[in-house]
Structure 1
Amino acid sequence: MRFSFGLIMTAGALFTATPSHAQTFDPRYPVCMHVYSGANGGGGEWYDCSFTSLPQCRATALGRSAICDLNPYYPFQEPPRRWRHERSG
């Protein structure tokens, strides 16, 4: 009975302990490059969020297995709304 309880506790601890992932997207930059190194490269894939514009990212990604996209965590600010004053009369 003691052995099975210890086995269950050990198995439960192993299944609940999962590695945590750091935040992939840097919220300071508006553009990210998703780099694919493939299975043969051994490096997997990652995001490089250090670009200020899409043309800058695309120039860096040229010739690589990568794609550029907007950073979903960048706090884009919408332009202020223009208020329309209606005139009566």
Structure 2
Amino acid sequence: MTVFTTLPIERDAKTTEVTMRMLASIVLASATILSVAPATAQRHDPRFPFCIERLRSGRSSTIDCRFTSMDQCRMTASGLRARCFANPFWRGSRGSRRR
């Protein structure tokens, strides 16, 4: 009866290969996680009826909802890469909520 055993050299080579594969996987996963830009919450303040969206480089933008009139927003947006729009989450005045 012959018993096959793995030579110490072959075992070390397999251990090294597994270790290197795990290390490569960890590095790849870390690079993927770090390369993703963090998402920022865009909050529409429901107390104001108009918002401005300022466009930044790339695809990012910021939204600021603190304008009481469209004219006020447009004056702020003048000369900027920005647009004004009605706040979709505006609650309206307290009087308009009554039926």
Report TM bin, short chain: 0.5 to 0.7
Shift of 1:64: 3.4
Shift of 1:8: 0.7
Alignment of 1:1-89 (within 5 A): 1-17=18-34, 18-27=36-45, 28-36=47-55, 45-72=61-88, 74-77=89-92, 79-81=97-99
Q: Rate the CA distance shift 1:9–1:59 in 2: closer, same or farther, 3 A.
A: same
Unaligned runs of 5+ in 2: 1-17
Q: Rate the CA distance shift 1:47–1:75 in 2: closer, same or farther, 3 A.
A: closer
Give the total of aligned pairs: 76
Shift of 1:34: 1.8
Instruction: Please tell me the root mean square deviation across aligned C-alpha atoms, in Å.
Output: 2.9
Unaligned runs of 5+ in 1: 82-89
Q: Do the aligned partners of 2:50 and 2:69 also contact (CA within 8 Å) in 1?
A: yes
**Would you tell me which structure has more helix in proportion to its own residues?**
2
Shift of 1:26: 4.1
**Identity of paired residues, percent?**
25
| TM-score of the pair, normalised by structure 1 | 0.56
Larger radius of gyration: 2
